[in-house]
Amino acid sequence: GAGVSQSPSNKVTEKGKDVELRCDPISGHTALYWYRQSLGQGLEFLIYFQGNSAPDKSGLPSDRFSAERTGGSVSTLTIQRTQQEDSAVYLCASSPDRIEQYFGPGTRLTVT
């Protein structure tokens, strides 16, 4: 079946602009996660959704970051007023059981 998809695959934006990153999870997966991965680094947890609600937003780096999930499916991560330090790969994962997480290919964000 279809895996997790993310769009766009690459995004180059100017400092100060807003960006939206999209995640389409595997159908039926109730849990959804966003992570950030800087060059050569590990996975930094950002936010977790169970259904449409986000019990844990503690990983969001600042109030410029927000995320929503609609219909228990698609999720959007929004970064307002982007800064150069926001440049990274943003990964989305979904899970049927909060244990086995299945990742998308990521969105590579470059802020110039």
Partner 1 sequence: GQQLNQSPQSMFIQEGEDVSMNCTSSSIFNTWLWYKQDPGEGPVLLIALYKAGELTSNGRLTAQFGITRKDSFLNISASIPSDVGIYFCAGYNSGGSNYKLTFGKGTLLTVNP
Residues 20-49 close enough to bind partner 1 by CB under 8 A: 31, 41-43, 45, 48
The yes or no reply on residue 100 touching partner 1 (CB under 8 A) is yes
Q: What is the C-alpha end-to-end distance of the chain, expressed in Å?
A: 37
Closest distance to partner 1 from the beta carbon of 58 (Å):
10
The yes or no reply on residue 98 touching partner 1 (CB under 8 A) is yes
CA distance 19 to 96: 28
3-state secondary structure the chain: CCCCEEECCEEEECCCCCEEEEEECCCCCCEEEEEEECCCCCCEEEEEEECCEEEECCCCCCCCEEEEECCCCCEEEEECCCCHHHCEEEEEEEECCCCCCEECCCEEEEEC
The yes or no reply on residue 8 touching partner 1 (CB under 8 A) is no
The yes or no reply on residue 19 touching partner 1 (CB under 8 A) is no
Residues 59-78 close enough to bind partner 1 by CB under 8 A: none
Closest distance to partner 1 from the beta carbon of 103 (Å):
3
Span of 12-20, 69-77, 78-86, 100-108 interacting with partner 1 by CB under 8 A: 100-108
Written as six digits, the tokens of 101 are: 């997480």
Contacting residues toward partner 1, per CB under 8 A: 4, 31, 41-43, 45, 48, 50, 55-56, 91, 93, 98-106
